[in-house]
Amino acid sequence: MKNSIWYISLLVFTFSSCNYFVLKKDKKEELVKEKLDKFNWDEVEQPPLFVPCENSIEEELELCFQNTITKHFHQFLSDQPIKVKKRINDTVWIPVLITKNSQILLKDFEIPDRIESEIPNLKDLLETAINSLPKVAPAHKRGTPVTALYKLPLVIRID
């Protein structure tokens, strides 16, 4: 009799406690929503990669990307005949969009009037510089290619 009560109690406990272990659809949706809310969509796990950066270690990928694009802009703009009447010492933030399909696009942005009056074709020069960048692999988030927007500072110092 004692054993049968124990087995019956165990059986009742087992059947009633199973509901606590089953993940209901509502709870699943709540968990997914919670994970998505915590997911930082503005950060990428792997930055876009130019060919010279492919052999860099993981900690240096972002730095390699920045150095490659900075050197390219510097070299390109240094080769351009830019003549100004007034001294310029200013910074322009250039929004560069690298799509998940490996396209590099210059987003629309404003150039301060004092720079635009001295270098009216600056946007055209920057567009040409963007178009002459080497092929790039897109940024990745959790192993998936994503579109990433970078704002690059362009320091203009002309005496």
pLDDT digits (tens, 9 = 90+) for 50-81: 888 888 887 888 889 888 988 999 899 889 88
Please state, as a whole number, how many other Cβ atoms lie within 10 Å of the Cβ of residue 96: 20
Task: Walk along the chain (159 residues) and give the pLDDT tens digit of each residue.
Answer: 556 666 666 555 565 555 555 555 556 667 666 665 555 555 778 888 888 888 888 788 888 988 898 899 989 988 988 888 888 888 899 999 999 999 999 998 899 888 899 899 999 999 999 999 999 999 988 888 999 998 988 888 887
* Among 48, 41, 35, residue whose Cα is nearest residue 140: 48
Is 154:92 a contact under the CB 8 Å cutoff?
A: yes
pLDDT number for residue 57: 83
Is 92:36 a contact under the CB 8 Å cutoff?
A: no
Is 104:56 a contact under the CB 8 Å cutoff?
A: no
* Among 149, 150, 77, 144, residue whose Cα is nearest residue 115: 77
Please state, as a whole number, how many other Cβ atoms lie within 10 Å of the Cβ of residue 69: 23
The residues that bridge with 136 in the sheet, in sequence order, are 50
